């Protein structure tokens, strides 16, 4: 199994919202991969051939609705997608699971699309930085988590 995440720091500028436009999340960091099934570079990660079950979660802040998807860059197709909606605080987290088989090493990325903004031209952020209770400073928070398990 491989565990990959992105972490965004305080004052990181979000992307300009344009409904229907997809933005890659990242940069990604490989946290744990004891079986060596994944390699990570920038906003992408590559999985070795096999059957996979991947769980993807991601947060957004500053918009009313968004989409999250696992995008197969090698083959140009989405391997799973979910919509999310934040009614009051403009923060939401989407989670979905995708099962697929790949016959060659394949590169993936996680993408977000903002679908609903509170005000025209609003920017959105990948999430809200978390306050460290000991230092009282704000630091990174995991805004996208990718957990892929090879099942064969």
Tell me: the pLDDT tens digits for 88-101? 556 677 889 999 99
The residue length of the chain stands at 152
Instruction: Provide the pLDDT for residue 137.
Output: 66
34-44 pLDDT tens trace: 999 999 988 89
The residues, any chain, with a CB within 8 Å of residue 112's CB and separated by 6 or more, are 15, 22, 23, 25, 58, 60, 66, 67, 68, 126
Lowest mean pLDDT among 75-84, 108-117, 130-139: 130-139
| Beta strands 65-72 and 106-116, pairing class | antiparallel
pLDDT of residue 87 exceeding 60: no
**CA angle in degrees (0–180, nearest 5) for 63-7-29:** 130
Residue-level pLDDT at 42: 84
The per-residue pLDDT for 13 is 54
């Amino acid at each position: 199994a491989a565990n990959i995440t992105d972490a965004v720091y305080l004052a990181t500028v979000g992307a300009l919202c344009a409904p229907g436009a997809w933005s890659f999340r990242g940069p990604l960091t490989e946290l744990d991969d004891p079986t060596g099934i994944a390699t990570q570079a920038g906003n992408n990660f590559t999985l070795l051939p096999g059957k996979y079950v991947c769980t993807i979660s991601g947060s957004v802040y500053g918009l009313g609705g968004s989409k999250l998807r696992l995008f197969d860059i090698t083959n140009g197709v989405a391997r799973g997608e979910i919509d999310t909606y934040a009614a009051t605080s403009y923060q939401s987290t989407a989670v979905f699971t995708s099962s697929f088989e790949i016959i060659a090493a394949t590169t993936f990325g996680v993408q977000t699309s903002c679908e609903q903004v509170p005000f025209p031209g609003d920017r959105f952020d990948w999430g809200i930085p978390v306050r460290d209770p000991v230092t009282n400073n704000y630091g990174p928070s995991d805004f996208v988590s990718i957990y892929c398990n090879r099942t064969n």
